[in-house]
Structure 1
Amino acid sequence: MSRHQRPRESIRRPRRLAAPPLRFFLPVTLLVCLLALMVLRGMATNEVFHDERTAVSVDKGTVPPNLLTGGPIIDARGAKNDHPVSYSVPDHTVVLSFDDGPDPKWTPQILDLLKARHIHASFFITGSMAARNPALIRRIVADGHEIGLHTFTHPDLALQTQTRLAWELGQTQLALAGVAGVHSSLFRPPYSSTADALDDWNWPVTKQIGKLGYLTAFIDSDTDDWKRPGVDEIVKTAMPKVPGKGELVLLHDAGGDRSQTVAALGRIIDELQAQNYRFTSISEALGASNAMTPVHGYQLWAGKAFIFGTQIAVNLLPWLVDLLAFVGVLVFARFALMLVLASRHVWRTRRPDFTWGPEVTRPVTVLVPAYNEQECIANTLNSLAASEHPIEVIVIDDGSSDDTSKIVEEMDLPFVRLIRQPNGGKPSALNNGIRNASYDIVVMMDGDTVFEPSTVRELIQPFADPAVGAVAGNAKVGNRDTLIGAWQHIEYVMGFNLDRRMYDTLNIMPTIPGAIGAFRREALLQVGGMSEDTLAEDTDITMAMLCEGWRVVYAEKARAWTEAPASMQQLWSQRYRWSYGTMQAMWKHRRAVIARGPAGRFGRVGLPLVVLFGVVAPLLAPLIDLFLLYGIFFVDAPKTITAWAAVLLVQGGLAWFAFRLDKEKPWHLVTLPIQQVVYRQLMYLVLLQSSITALTGGRLRWQKLRRTGEVAVPIVEA
């Protein structure tokens, strides 16, 4: 350890930037709510918890014999649970019952026909269809028909647990209460048939239904209309087997094409009326009170809240799907742009005959703003001492409370000047340095950054072109041996550096990194120096230069090694400030969109790209992960994982390409899958919190990160 690297002392630091609890939990809550809405919508569309299995049994040993030879309506409620009874529809009476609805296309046609004939029927609804079509439920009730339950998602209850059975009924009652303000005590199991079809699989379900207070309605005649056997066949099977005997007829008003059912219904009514049959609901046929009872209070409002949430979910998800498609287009468009334009940049700048112009050999000024950098400042200055290019270094101590200035003085380097000032923030320190700079090219670096010997020379060569006002260097993560460091290393190489090549080619470079950048002093003075209007002074100054017509380019060989945040809290603090500051800079230069000349070009090309790729796409990217979770748990896990793996493979290919361009060893990419799951979510939370802060008018101050001084002068191969 250098004698100038002091052990870290326990000094009082400014309060670290911590997300206020509300703003921290709001992004998480938003994600959870979106996932909940997706699940709610999946339930309403019978996609979540969908189960098409059916039980098959021929044993009837546990079924009471009187039920197998009795009527289609079984009462196993209360005291009758151990001694159930069955009821038949009276003679010359027909109950028309419709399952699986309501359907927005077929149910209205059936209701119109029944209303024209002044006939009441029984509709066994599924909760999922009721939640999606509340107006039809209200119309069924208003027209005097009876509603029974047919579960929420239409599973075979013989294969479900008692908990699932109670949930299916409870959710359907909740939906019914929400849309019509009623509950029903009438139930028909999915995939049921006549009472004599009861067996040892579904009899326990019927008993449990009775315990819960429901009357179970099976059927006398199954028209099999769901098979679409033809109108004549449907009419034929609906007719009573014994003339004059009462019948409970099964039809369907949902679940597919029900045109044959609608066509057959009128003929069924006409033929049965010709045989002197009357039509009624199940409760009317039994001479019992209506199975539907009004609900009030908590049950009513809980149902309304459920339907309100379901309607939001049903209407919102198509927008989410469109947003997901938009995100996908953005992501792959960005991939394509980076591949093409970064390749073009490399091809142009690495040609043997490429040159910016005559070699720049004149001395330059290097500004090092420092605030409590005692752990790092010695490494920074030692790296500059090895510079291959003539430099003067100005260290601006921005009111440090540690030994930063003392270390600089003790090093006694002849090319270093120390300026002390009261704490005023990084822009103030840099402006002080600019005023005291001796040369017309100014290099800016952070106090925790180290340069390679050739960095300054490589960084300033583009200034041979008089149109160039600023140059972005190649920032590298020095502490990449930890998991967090490896993730940031991938981000720097894959994101920042590929982006800079792309933006350089388009001549719309939006940011000069604070760790390594060079500026023409003339250009700095023209735009008023470093501004304190934003927390991203590097982005602000770069955009200002572009608006004034200066070129901003990228020098990949000018490498700087910086100490990335070593913990999630520090990373959060840093990225929160970056994101918020970038938004401030974009808002500050928003008028460039309608400006003319160079400002207009940046405003109409550069700003939209920064907004799309820097804000919109990252904010919407978690939709990919939400759909991933939804697909794994509720839809098709193998296909979902395969699709996600394909996207990850594309990202991995792009990352490998970026690492190859930067001549980096790609072994850190083994952490890429975890980075996509964990790191990306953190960046989303940071960006969303920054957006909330911006929208609510919140203010942030400059934040000092804790440094360790572990990044030293790198060993560079010749």
Structure 2
Amino acid sequence: MASRTRRHRAAIGARDGSPRRRLPLRLLLPLLVLVALMAMLMLRGYVHSEILADHRVRPPAATDQVPQKILEGGPVIDTRSGRTESLGVPDHRLVLTFDDGPDPTWTPKVLDVLRKHDAHAVFFVTGTMASRYPDLVQRMVDEGHEVGLHTFNHPDLSYQSRERIDWELSQNQLAITGAAGIRTSLFRPPYSSFADAMDNESWPVTEYIGARGYITVVNNTDSEDWQRPGVDEIIRRATPKDGAGAIVLMHDSGGDRSQTVAALDRFLPDMKEQGYEFDNLTEALDAPSAHSPVTGGELWKAKAWIFLVQASEHITDGLVAGLAVIGFLVIARFGLMLLLSGIHARRVRRRDFRWGPPVTEPVSVLVPAYNEAKCIENTVRSLMDSDHPVEILVIDDGSTDGTARIVEAMGLPNVRVVRQLNAGKPAALNRGLANARHDIVVMMDGDTVFEPSTVRELVQPFGDPRVGAVAGNAKVGNKDSLIGAWQHIEYVMGFNLDRRMYDVLRCMPTIPGAVGAFRRSALEPIGGMSDDTLAEDTDVTMALHRDGWRVVYAENARAWTEAPETVQQLWSQRYRWSYGTMQAIWKHRRAVIDKGPSGRFGRVGLPFVSLFMVLAPLLAPLIDIFLLYGIIFGPTEKTIAAWLGVLAIQAVCAAYAFRLDRERMTHLISLPLQQILYRQLMYVVLLQSWITALTGGRLRWQKLRRTGVVEAPGGAPSTPRQRTGSGDDHRRPVA
């Protein structure tokens, strides 16, 4: 019966078209990494008093509810088990107490002076500092000093609820236990003073803390070293009168404590000469030790806490270093793009600029097509309008939607259809190369349209016999939607501005599959298009560099391509690009040791591509992570100003790129939103690609669904034939 019910529900789900979907693993792993990073940052904010911190200090209140013997008594207040007692320190005994530590700079210096003069003290540590510097807490205990609680975040407990007080005590105790394996019964409230300063607001807190098993320790001699009044004044204020015993308040954290250390080094021997002993509290009171060992699960829980805090400290330190690196890379990249793209534009736009003799001979245009029924007619017709003589080869890679029949039915001259079983884009291009009649071949995608001048502009650089390949200017045709506009910005700024820079550096990493041209004589020695990677265009470009050919950029060879219109399609495309680029870098890693002129790409291009296309995008999320962190935990104004500064630099680069490409600036209105939303998707895609690469995963070719809406500007509209099923690509997987 249960099985029948499940089948019935499944059938209903299938009929409704709403099957239960689980979060794909490709999304889960990158999201887990990002969540882990955010968790580490939150933990850092927690232990740096940036979360739940409350630094208000309550003004004094009335004292009529405080027992008189407490107001007139000593600095040690015991309210445990219903008691109301106060104790003082015997004559000629001094208990030095240090608040707010441990501090990595000043606490070791204080400990060194105490050890030098064979003196003990009490350190009232905060949970935040003890969690970050557990080795110093352990040293305190090992050297015979006592440790007391000073809350976790250092708030005025008079403002806090009992739940918050419990939390402050337990977290402070957890940090001490994790650091030194002990539990302490000593407590000093933040912002405390002498016993006679106890009032109606602080006394109930003292009673409650006593009920929790803690002895409250204030002071009766305040060195006021936090004011840095000078060494002599600190010593004067710390010295009790007439040989009386005292609990002396000092600080080993919270600022520059050099005067405290210097004063301590004089104070200890001077007071010992006067007959004083420097003990910890229980030694001075001849009482049982305030420390008790912790074992079992409670100890392991505390150790785990310290481990996580230390991990968060190291990770966030690494993230901060990474942020500095990415900040430098972003500024450097923008600077290089602006400088070198300007040089490129001025060079190629000179009236006397020539690549060489004009290239007028016919060229072969290869159009690999798999299920492109909605686009192929627009593509072929745009090529027929070319003002340069062309032969067109449509290589049908086993389409199931009638792509080949559509081309054949057009009955156009100089258009041939080559059919093959589905074997993948590299195999289709190689099949086209084998059937091409001309030495110069232009390669494009089946969803792309050319302007009439595109082919002519694309092949002119071959007037230079050193040029083996030319990258065209790929542009987004369907840019009216928001996601299309974001990709339009990315193409104009991130791709074409980059190509200008790489052209000047003579290390162009990629001939775009949408619009590129090659010499057959350059492709044949390297084996044509390879299917070793998912980025066959990047792979073949790197191979051409290594074979000694120049690869250049033709800015006026414009091609209009149909960009993905959904997040899923965009994800699939960019995942393949990112992973394929990593594969190509790894395949050509030995280019860094290539000799001679052909080694320029390995010395310059490969490091640049690795740095700016793989490493920098991987670190780029740190900008947004720290932006979010800074907005929440501060300094909010400086954080927002820094982010707006980066955005302004990007806007300047984007505006310059749009000006070079003669594009309307109106699309840049969506740039801020692109930086907030679109970039995050690209981050996760790249992270997923890294995970796939590191785990040795396999990725199949992705087939995007097309609409056939893209036409060349100024071209006559054509109605694409309605065919169904661009479907999933069944090409063989590539490792």
Matched residues in 1 for 2:559 and 2:161: separation? 62
Q: Which residue of 2 aligns with 1:507?
A: 506
Tell me: CA distance 1:278–1:465, structure 2 relative to 1, closer, same or farther (3 Å).
closer
Please say if 1:195 is aligned against 2:198: no
CA contact (8 A) 1:48 1:635 kept: no
Q: CA deviation at 1:564?
A: 0.9
Q: Which residue of 2 aligns with 1:14?
A: none
Q: Which residue of 2 aligns with 1:210?
A: 210
Amino acid aligned to 2:470? V
Alignment of 1:299-378 (within 5 A): 299-378=298-377
Amino acid aligned to 1:505? V
Matched residues in 1 for 2:113 and 2:610: separation? 56
Please say if 1:99 is aligned against 2:102: no
Alignment of 1:522-541 (within 5 A): 522-541=521-540
CA contact (8 A) 1:693 1:699 kept: yes
Q: Which residue of 2 aligns with 1:664?
A: 663
What is the CA deviation profile of residues 515-573 of structure 1, one whole-angstrom value per residue up to 9, with x for unaligned ones? Answer: 11111222121221111111111111111112222222211111111111112221111
2:63 aligned to 60, 65, 82, which one? 60
Matched residues in 1 for 2:350 and 2:191: separation? 73
Tell me: CA distance 1:105–1:695, structure 2 relative to 1, closer, same or farther (3 Å).
closer
Alignment of 1:550-699 (within 5 A): 550-699=549-698
Q: CA deviation at 1:299?
A: 2.3
Q: Which residue of 2 aligns with 1:702?
A: 701
Q: Which moved more, 1:320-329 or 1:537-546?
A: 320-329
Q: Which moved more, 1:682-691 or 1:115-124?
A: 115-124
Q: CA deviation at 1:102?
A: 2.6
Q: Which residue of 1 aligns with 2:219?
A: 219
Q: Which moved more, 1:451-460 or 1:259-268?
A: 259-268
Q: CA deviation at 1:50?
A: 5.2
Secondary structure of the structure 2 residue equivalent to 1:101 = coil
Q: Which residue of 1 aligns with 2:723?
A: none
Q: Which residue of 1 aligns with 2:155?
A: 155
Q: Which moved more, 1:523-532 or 1:655-664?
A: 523-532
Please say if 1:458 is aligned against 2:460: no
Secondary structure of the structure 2 residue equivalent to 1:25 = helix
Tell me: CA distance 1:144–1:581, structure 2 relative to 1, closer, same or farther (3 Å).
same
Matched residues in 2 for 1:259 and 1:348: separation? 62
Q: CA deviation at 1:291?
A: 2.4
Matched residues in 1 for 2:168 and 2:647: separation? 38
Tell me: CA distance 1:59–1:666, structure 2 relative to 1, closer, same or farther (3 Å).
farther
Alignment of 1:130-149 (within 5 A): 130-149=130-149
Q: CA deviation at 1:279?
A: 4.4
Please say if 1:439 is aligned against 2:438: yes
CA contact (8 A) 1:188 1:218 kept: yes
Q: CA deviation at 1:662?
A: 0.6
Q: Which moved more, 1:607-616 or 1:98-107?
A: 98-107
Q: Which moved more, 1:661-670 or 1:130-139?
A: 130-139
Matched residues in 2 for 1:501 and 1:33: separation? 38
Q: Which residue of 2 aligns with 1:474?
A: 473
Matched residues in 2 for 1:88 and 1:312: separation? 42
Q: Which residue of 2 aligns with 1:10?
A: none
Amino acid aligned to 1:515? A
Q: CA deviation at 1:497?
A: 0.4
Q: CA deviation at 1:215?
A: 2.2
Q: Which residue of 2 aligns with 1:11?
A: none
Amino acid aligned to 2:216? T
Q: CA deviation at 1:146?
A: 1.6
Matched residues in 1 for 2:499 and 2:109: separation? 62
Please say if 1:74 is aligned against 2:88: no
Q: Which moved more, 1:557-566 or 1:636-645?
A: 557-566
Percent of aligned pairs with the same residue? Answer: 63
Tell me: CA distance 1:370–1:245, structure 2 relative to 1, closer, same or farther (3 Å).
same
Tell me: CA distance 1:555–1:270, structure 2 relative to 1, closer, same or farther (3 Å).
closer
Tell me: CA distance 1:271–1:391, structure 2 relative to 1, closer, same or farther (3 Å).
closer
CA contact (8 A) 2:382 2:715 kept: no
CA contact (8 A) 2:538 2:584 kept: yes
Amino acid aligned to 1:187? F
Alignment of 1:40-55 (within 5 A): 40-46=43-49, 51-55=54-58
CA contact (8 A) 1:546 1:598 kept: no
CA contact (8 A) 1:74 1:86 kept: yes
Tell me: CA distance 1:714–1:155, structure 2 relative to 1, closer, same or farther (3 Å).
same
Q: Which moved more, 1:325-334 or 1:602-611?
A: 325-334
CA contact (8 A) 1:534 1:585 kept: yes
Secondary structure of the structure 1 residue equivalent to 2:100 = strand
Secondary structure of the structure 2 residue equivalent to 1:413 = coil
Amino acid aligned to 1:57? P
Q: Which residue of 2 aligns with 1:13?
A: none
Tell me: CA distance 1:235–1:548, structure 2 relative to 1, closer, same or farther (3 Å).
closer
Q: Which residue of 2 aligns with 1:24?
A: 27
Q: CA deviation at 1:91?
A: 5.2
Matched residues in 2 for 1:118 and 1:336: separation? 60
Q: CA deviation at 1:208?
A: 4.2
Q: Which moved more, 1:633-642 or 1:18-27?
A: 18-27
Matched residues in 2 for 1:128 and 1:673: separation? 37
Q: Which residue of 2 aligns with 1:247?
A: 246
Amino acid aligned to 2:37? L
Secondary structure of the structure 2 residue equivalent to 1:530 = coil
Let me know the Cα RMSD of the aligned residues. Answer: 2.6
Amino acid aligned to 2:536? E
Tell me: CA distance 1:415–1:196, structure 2 relative to 1, closer, same or farther (3 Å).
same
Q: CA deviation at 1:637?
A: 0.2
What is the CA deviation profile of residues 329-382 of structure 1, one whole-angstrom value per residue up to 9, with x for unaligned ones? Answer: 211111111111111111122222323333323222211111111221222122
Q: Which residue of 2 aligns with 1:121?
A: 121
Matched residues in 2 for 1:496 and 1:313: separation? 36
Matched residues in 1 for 2:222 and 2:177: separation? 29
CA contact (8 A) 2:366 2:443 kept: yes
Matched residues in 2 for 1:62 and 1:480: separation? 74
- Matched residue pairs, number? 696
Q: Which moved more, 1:660-669 or 1:141-150?
A: 141-150
User: What TM-score comes out, normalization by structure 2 length?
Assistant: 0.88
What is the CA deviation profile of residues 691-714 of structure 1, one whole-angstrom value per residue up to 9, with x for unaligned ones? Answer: 222222222222111222222343
Matched residues in 1 for 2:569 and 2:179: separation? 50
**Which runs of no fewer than 5 residues in structure 2 stay unpaired?**
1-20, 717-735
User: What TM-score comes out, normalization by structure 1 length?
Assistant: 0.90
